[in-house]
Amino acid sequence: MNVVFLSPHFPPNWWHFCRGLRQAGATVLGLGDAPYEWLSADLRGTLAEYFKVNDMHNYDELLRALGHFTHRYGKIDRLDSLNEYWLETEARLRTDFNISGIDRRAIAQMKRKSLMKGRFARAGLRVPRGRVCRTPRAARAFIGQVGYPVVAKPDAGVGAARTYKLENDADLDRYLRDKLPVDYIMEECLTGTLLTYDGLVDRFGDVIFDSSLVYSIGVMESVNEGLDLYYWIGREIQADVVHAGRAVVRAFGLRERPFHFEFFRVPDGALVPLEVNMRPPGGLTVDMWNYGNEFDFYREWANVLVHGTSEIKTTRPYSVVYASRRDGRGYLLPHEVVIQRFGPQIVHHQRMESIFSGAIGDYGYILRGPSLEPLIAAAKAIQEPPRVEQVAKEPAA
């Protein structure tokens, strides 16, 4: 099987997907804009060939690259990046080269939040009121119907960047001046706990692995207010989360995909879907899956792509927590003390890529253990601010 992987060098841990493909028997063909010598030795060792383009946004260059691969290796069987940014480019290339997977006809339903609502309703879920508002008049009319507060976010945006919570007319005026020149959707503002249903669907549409993240605060608050957050994967998934998540999988007709669905659990206990992402969660979440289950998700995904399914076993022997810190903020415990005190629980820690730091901090710690409560207590201690009498001098890590 010939598999083209777009931008295989970013994010840095994504090279493991290429490793998994090679281990599963695929011919792995890399396509990116980074010079070959910039690729890690590990990544280079997984690729049968790497084709460098000058600009990944130049579609003609991508066409020529895939034409080159086709001439040398025969038909391209699969193409992916597992990166939200390239989903539409992937869909276009799959359509033009008749490659199996999400094509141009399907991608809009998976990228535009306004169109997701119809699929959520088909899944039998409560859908928050929302509307694409292209003019100030339309925005004011929608707010007149639902009242403040409302949330405004790019209809096809990624993550919580350039997302606004509007609580009054002054906030609305600032938003109208500041917003990007793209379609925005306005929705009634929900309160509750942010959580996810994540996993992997095989070629036959069966969910063969699932997981759920629960967040200490909303990602929007983390981005817009620069707050510390932590999130966790427990050893059990609540039954209604599984039911709602699998209904969404069926509503979108997923095949051979990892997925990341976001929900709010509102005060009356109901689950309200926010959006779908047809790729793995970002940051270090895939590594958290591996630590929590003692398996290799990178390879299991590759087995699904190459062989159609996987013998993946989800035992969840551990809970896993990610805790972040931000540069320029003081903390009660210096980094060295954190490592000393929580060393038996910390399985990984690193500085985060700047593209992720707005949402999940500049430095991250992954903690693992059989019980969730001690891990959450450790996360809170890692993020505890200095005492009033202390002068914060320590960086994030």
CB of 233 within 8 A of CB of 376? no
Residue 160 in domain: yes
389 in a structural domain: no
Task: Note the pLDDT of residue 158.
Answer: 62
Task: Give the tens place of pLDDT for each residue, 355-374.
Answer: 888 889 999 999 999 999 99
Please tell me whether residues 254 and 227 are part of one structural domain.
yes
Task: Assess whether 184 and 226 both reside in one domain.
Answer: no
Q: Are 226 and 347 contained in the same domain?
A: yes
Q: Which residue has the tokens 């997981």?
A: 211
Determine the pLDDT at residue 161. 61
Q: Which of 188, 208, 232 is the last residue of a domain?
A: 188
pLDDT in tens, 181-220: 999 999 999 889 999 999 999 999 999 999 999 999 877 7
Per-residue model confidence as pLDDT tens for the chain (397 residues): 999 999 999 999 999 999 999 999 999 999 999 999 999 999 999 999 999 999 999 999 999 999 999 999 999 999 999 999 999 999 999 999 999 999 999 998 899 999 999 999 999 999 999 999 999 999 999 999 999 999 999 998 665 568 899 999 999 999 999 998 999 999 999 889 999 999 999 999 999 999 999 999 877 777 778 889 999 999 999 999 999 999 999 999 999 999 999 999 999 999 999 999 999 999 999 999 999 999 999 999 999 999 999 999 889 999 999 999 999 899 999 999 999 999 999 999 999 998 888 889 999 999 999 999 999 999 999 999 998 765 545 555 5
For residues 279 and 258, the answer to whether their CB atoms sit within 8 Å is: yes
The answer to whether residue 392 sits within a structural domain is no
Token readout for 381 is 């201690």
Same domain, 289 and 141: no
Q: What is the pLDDT of residue 396?
A: 59
* Residue corresponding to tokens 């777009």: 6
Distance CA 93, CA 87 (A): 10
Strands 27-32 vs 49-52: parallel, antiparallel or unpaired: parallel
Q: Tell me, letter by letter, the H, E, C secondary structure of 101-170.
A: CCCHHHHHHHHCHHHHHHHHHHCCCCCCCEEECCCHHHHHHHHHHHCCCEEEEECCCCCCCCCEEECCHH
Whole-structure pTM value: 0.92
Shared-domain flag, residues 221 and 247: yes
Residues 6+ apart with CB under 8 A from 397: 325, 335, 349, 351, 362, 363
Q: What angle do CA 74, 76, 79 make, to 5 degrees?
A: 160
Tokens 């931008």 found at:
7
Residue 261: domain span: 193-383
Indicate whether 70 belongs to any domain. Answer: yes
Specify if 394 maps to a domain.
no
The CATH number assigned to the domain holding 327 equals: 3.30.470.20
Round to whole Å and give the CA distance between 353 and 361.
Answer: 9
Contact status, residue 60 vs residue 41, Cβ threshold 8 Å:
no
Instruction: Assess if residue 257 is contained within a domain.
Output: yes
Under 8 Å between Cβ of 299 and 359? no
Long-range contacts, 54-62 (Cβ 8 Å, 24+): 56/6, 56/7, 56/32, 56/86, 56/89, 59/89, 59/92, 62/31, 62/89, 62/93
Q: Are residues 220 and 347 in the same domain?
A: yes
Please report the pLDDT score of residue 284 as a whole number.
96
Same domain, 258 and 326: yes
Same domain, 315 and 347: yes
Looking at the fold, whether 92 and 223 belong to one and the same domain comes out as no
What tokens appear for 90 in the block? 């992937």
Domain harbouring 74, CATH code? 3.40.50.20
> Do the domain assignments include residue 395?
no
Residue 190 and residue 205 in contact, taking contact as beta carbons nearer than 8 Å: no
61 plus 199 within the same structural domain? no
Please provide residue 277's backbone torsions phi and psi, each rounded to the nearest 5 degrees: -135, 120
Q: How many domains does the chain have?
A: 3
